[in-house]
């Protein structure tokens, strides 16, 4: 299988500095604001964004090292496979979030 190469197009900044500080569920992130800074060569990709309320972000958990294929999720006492869970310690450490646009 050929490797997939993904190049960054910008940086997402949030108040979360450590995995322990990250909200477990999206409802716990309500009211938390972040900032997205695109590299200059991608800014024209924002054309006609006005009028949209949300965008989808695909990102890499850059501070995560390694992964576990099974983990005990929040509010559970048994290990489950991680591929159907919202856990950052996963193969390739890829995350996806739909966020509300403020400005």
Q: What percent of the chain has pLDDT over 70?
A: 98
Indicate the pTM of the whole model.
0.80
Q: Is the model more confident about 29 or about 102?
A: 102
* 64 exposure class (CB count in 10 Å sphere: 0-12, 13-18, 19+): middle
Q: Is residue 37 domain-resident?
A: yes
Q: Per-residue pLDDT averaged across 1-15, rounded?
A: 93
> What is the rounded CA–CA span in Å between residue 42 and residue 19?
29
- Domain of 78: which CATH number? 2.40.30.70
The number of folded domains in the chain is: 1
The residue segments making up the domain with residue 38 are 10-100
Q: Is residue 5 domain-resident?
A: no
Q: Is residue 56 domain-resident?
A: yes
């Amino acid at each position: 299988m050929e490797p997939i190469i993904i190049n960054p197009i910008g940086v997402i900044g949030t108040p979360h500095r450590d995995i322990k500080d990250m909200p477990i569920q999206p409802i716990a992130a309500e009211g938390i604001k972040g900032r997205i800074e695109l590299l200059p060569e991608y800014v024209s990709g924002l054309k006609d964004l006005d009028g949209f309320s949300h965008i989808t972000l695909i990102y890499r958990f850059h501070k995560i090292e390694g992964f576990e294929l099974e983990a005990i999720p929040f509010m559970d006492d048994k290990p489950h496979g991680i591929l159907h869970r919202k856990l950052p310690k996963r193969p390739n450490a890829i995350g996806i979030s739909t966020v509300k646009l403020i400005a």
